[in-house]
Amino acid sequence: MNPKAEKKMFVFTAPSGAGKTTVVKHLLSNYDNLGFSISATTRTKRAGETDGVDYYFLTSEEFKKKIAQNEFVEWEEVYENQFYGTLKSEVERIWDEGKFLVFDIDVRGATNIKKFFGNQCMAVFIRPPSFEVLKQRLIDRNTENEATLKKRIDKVIKELTYEPNFDLVLVNDQLDVTLREAETIVNVFINGVPA
């Protein structure tokens, strides 16, 4: 992409366990002209995660200071005292590299980005084939205790109601089909035609 070219972005959102991160990683590994928007968060770093690669890990105080200084495009308190957000500097960093942005973000943040950027943004909601499948995926992850799993499942129920707010819906039933459909979305939005 030419740095003077149109600035576009893709937002992939979904309830936890629906597969948005898998889709985003696939697209980033197959398209050199896509740049991953790294979110800022106050949540604890998980095993294998790297600051500045997976997230910008901030303390609550650092995050709140950036809110006060209007440094975010969007931010949310997803759980009590657990913040996520998109830094304006991150959007500019990727556009300055001459790339199209790709977001892997929760439904409220995705809704806010779509409102902020309008037609520059292709917002895609990834839905599991059923709630039961999604619940089993969360259980199979084995990353939650019983209390946090219940909290996450309650959140998933709310997140599923956001589906109508997005430009397109991908049902992640068969991963290979979902990945091909995601590629088509990227090609059409950037070039106007499928590859």
Q: What is the CATH number of the domain that holds 111?
A: 3.40.50.300
Given a cut of 60, whether residue 173 has pLDDT beyond it is: yes
Helix (H) or strand (E) holding 36: strand 34-36
Mean pLDDT, the chain, whole residue set: 91
104-134 per-position pLDDT tens digit? 998 989 999 999 999 999 999 999 888 888 8
Exposed, middle or buried, 51 (CB in 10 Å: 0-12/13-18/19+)?
Answer: exposed
Percent of the chain whose predicted confidence (pLDDT) is above 90 = 70
pLDDT over 70 (residue 4): no
Task: Please check whether residue 179 lies inside any domain of the structure.
Answer: yes
185, 168 Cβ separation under 8 angstroms: yes
In a domain, 2, yes or no: no
3 in a structural domain: no
- The tens digit of pLDDT for each residue in 18-33 reads 889 999 999 999 999 9
DSSP per-residue codes, 55-110 = BEE--HHHHHHHHHTT-EEEEEEEETTEEEEEEHHHHHHHHHTT-EEEEEE-HHHH
Question: Rounded mean pLDDT of 97-104?
Answer: 95
pLDDT band at 174 (very low <50, low <70, confident <90, very high): very high
Domain span at 128: 9-191
Among 16-20, 52-56, 183-187, 188-192, the range scoring the smallest mean pLDDT is 16-20
Please state, in angstroms and rounded to a whole number, the distance separating the CA atoms of residues 194 and 5. 19
Give helix 146-159 / helix 131-141 axis angle, nearest 10°: 150
pLDDT digits (tens, 9 = 90+) for 36-69: 999 999 999 999 999 999 999 999 999 999 999 9
DSSP element (H, E) containing 171 = strand 168-171
Q: What's the gap between Cα 163 and its chain centre?
A: 14
Q: In this predicted model, which residue has the larger pLDDT, 66 or 1?
A: 66
Residue 195 pLDDT > 90, yes or no? no
Dihedral of alpha carbons 60, 61, 63, 68, sign: positive
The answer to whether residues 115 and 74 touch, using CB atoms and an 8 Å cutoff, is no
Q: Which pTM value belongs to this model? A: 0.86
- Name the domain count of the chain: 1
Q: Is pLDDT at 142 greater than 90 in this prediction?
A: no
Q: What distance in Å separates the CA atoms of residue 124 and residue 108, rounded to the nearest whole number? A: 13
- Report if residue 1 sits inside a domain: no
Of 117, 116, 140, which is closest to residue 128 (Cα–Cα)? 140
